[in-house]
């Protein structure tokens, strides 16, 4: 979907995750997640950049998304802002935004919603820091 270099293991994780899952992205106020069945998922490698060339993967975060969100994530109209600490997220309409957004997703470590102070901003094509940097990351709560 967003990342084209998924491995077979990633594809298997996606298939397992989206069974009976609902979209975990924001559809606005007064919406119910179960109205948005998941049809695809993000796989986000969380790890550590050891050096410029070396990267150690600690775990993978898999986020189920519905058809509408999957389409928005591959189009040029929307940018998703996603907090790795609280999974809070919202969409930005690029045409209406004050800033110029190019990425489909921007990952935050901490946002105003979870009271976490802003800990960094990561683009979809960057390594995302290891689990220890995200004590409250969603998959740790399971």
Q: Which of 40, 37, 38, 36 is nearest to 6 (CA)?
A: 40
**Contact in structure between 105 and 80 (CB atoms under 8 Å):** yes
- 32-51: contacts with Zn ion (CB under 5 A): 36
Which of 62, 111, 128, 137: binder of Zn ion (CB under 5 A)? 111
Q: 10 Å Cβ neighbour count for 82?
A: 22
- 55-74: contacts with Zn ion (CB under 5 A): 66, 69
When asked if residue 2 is in the footprint of Zn ion (CB under 5 A), the reply is no
When asked if residue 23 is in the footprint of Zn ion (CB under 5 A), the reply is yes
What is the Cα–Cα distance from 137 to 100, expressed in whole angstroms? 28
When asked if residue 83 is in the footprint of Zn ion (CB under 5 A), the reply is yes
Where does this chain bind Zn ion (CB under 5 A)? 23, 25, 36, 66, 69, 83, 85-86, 88, 111, 113-114
């Amino acid at each position: 979907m967003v990342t084209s270099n998924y491995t077979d293991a990633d594809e298997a994780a996606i298939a397992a995750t989206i069974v009976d899952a609902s979209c975990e992205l924001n559809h606005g106020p007064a919406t119910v997640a179960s109205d948005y069945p998941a049809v695809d998922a993000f796989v986000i490698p969380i790890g550590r950049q050891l050096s410029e060339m070396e990267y150690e993967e600690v775990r993978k975060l898999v986020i189920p998304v519905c058809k509408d969100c999957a389409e928005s994530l591959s189009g040029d109209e929307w940018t998703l802002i996603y907090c790795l600490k609280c999974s809070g997220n919202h969409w930005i309409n690029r045409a209406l935004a004050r800033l110029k957004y190019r990425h489909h997703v921007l990952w935050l470590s901490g946002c105003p919603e979870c009271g976490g102070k802003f800990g960094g901003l990561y683009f979809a094509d960057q390594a995302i820091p290891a689990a220890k940097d995200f004590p409250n990351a969603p998959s740790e709560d399971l």
